[in-house]
Amino acid sequence: MMKNDICNCGAIALDENSKLVIDRVAEVAGYLWQKNWAERNGGNISVNLYDNIFYFTGTGQRMRDVAKSPLDFGAIIKVCDDWTNFEYVSEKHIKPTSELPSHLAIHKCLRDRGMRNTVVVHTHPNELIAISHLEKFLDADVLTKTLWSMIPESRIIVPKGVGVVSYHVPGSLELATATIEQLATHDVILWEKHGVLAVGNDVVECFDAIDTLVKCTQIYLFAKMAGGEPQGLNDEQLEELAVKFNL
């Protein structure tokens, strides 16, 4: 690291890239609040900045506060080799999200699959939670096809589709394990009667994937409200997109 690439940020010398990444977390935290997906302390974000250094939003902290000041409502931590314990490297010792064990298990699993600088975004989008109360959408294939068929871009922006995890207590190991399983074959996971989780290399792209799926859900629900079952793009049209965009 070049000397002038670092700035002193409390207890840690935070490099320029990590500062930019944390700024993007704050940007997305603001979107989650503005979108009405982040009631009270709903949702959480974690980012692997580099090596074993992570930024986590704090437990009980509000996204609207993270948006204003990510280092006052979240923490930078160094995760130990066991991927369970950690020590603070940020000046403030804000306790990480209650979903810390599940986020860490997901980051570890993604690293084992070859991904680096991973991001986990969990949030509570109303429309997606609403349809997770309907039995037929607890089937990942039905859900994915229904949402993909609402607008062509969704086939491209969420190429692996949406996985589904049945209800488990928030923050539980069962929820983490089932989520990791689904992430092998899907980009975004719907947690029954709770929310969604997206992973990737960029926090804004994780937001974009969720935002696109919410739009698809809204269009589905608007069409239903307008009086019937929406037609949706047909199999041929979806396949045409897959071929054209190498999906």
User: Would you please indicate which residues are annotated as catalytic (active-site) residues?
Assistant: 99
Site for Zn ion in 155-184 (CB under 5 A): none
x-marked contacts with ligand 2HA along 138-177 as a string, rule CB under 6 A: --------------------------------x-------
Nearest to 134 by CA among 164, 162, 155: 164
* 46 is a site residue for ligand 2HA (CB under 6 A): no
**Rounded to the nearest whole angstrom, what is the least distance from the CB of residue 170 to ligand 2HA in the complex?**
4
Residue nearest Zn ion, Cβ-based: 195
Q: Which amino acid is it at 223? A: A
Q: With CB under 6 A as the contact rule, which of the stretches 18-26, 93-101, 135-143, 211-219 interacts with ligand 2HA? A: 93-101
| Among 52, 78, 98, 218, contact with ligand 2HA (rule: CB under 6 A) | 98
Q: Which residues pair with 15 in a beta bridge?
A: 6
Residue with tokens 């229904």: 146
Which of 25, 29, 31, 41: binder of ligand 2HA (CB under 6 A)? 41
Stretch that binds ligand 2HA, among 15-23, 40-48, 134-142, 147-155 (CB under 6 A): 40-48
List, as one string, the DSSP characters of the chain.
--GGGEEEETTEEEEHHHHHHHHHHHHHHHHHHHTT---TT--EEEEEEETTEEEEEBTT--HHHHHH-TTTSEEEEEE-TTSS-EEE-SSS-PPB-TTHHHHHHHHHHHHHTT--S-EEEEE--HHHHHHTTSGGGGSHHHHHHHHHTT-HHHHHHSTT-EEEE----TT-HHHHHHHHHHHTT-SEEEETTTEEEEEES-HHHHHHHHHHHHHHHHHHHHHHHTTS------HHHHHHHHHHTT-
- Residue 99 interacting with ligand 2HA (CB under 6 A): yes
Q: Which of Zn ion, ligand 2HA, none is residue 99 near (CB under 5 to 8 Å by kind)?
A: ligand 2HA
For 213, counting Cβ atoms within 10 Å of its Cβ (0-12 exposed, 13-18 middle, 19+ buried), the class is buried
Q: Does 43 bind ligand 2HA (CB under 6 A)?
A: yes
Residue 125 in contact with Zn ion, rule: CB under 5 A: no
Nearer to ligand 2HA, 175 or 238 (CB): 175
Rule CB under 6 A: say whether 30 interacts with ligand 2HA.
Answer: no
Q: Shortest distance, CB of residue 146 to ligand 2HA, whole angstroms? A: 25
Interface pick for Zn ion out of 195, 199, 209, 212 (rule CB under 5 A): 195
Binding-site ranges for Zn ion (CB under 5 A):
195
Binding-site ranges for ligand 2HA (CB under 6 A):
41-44, 97-99, 122, 170
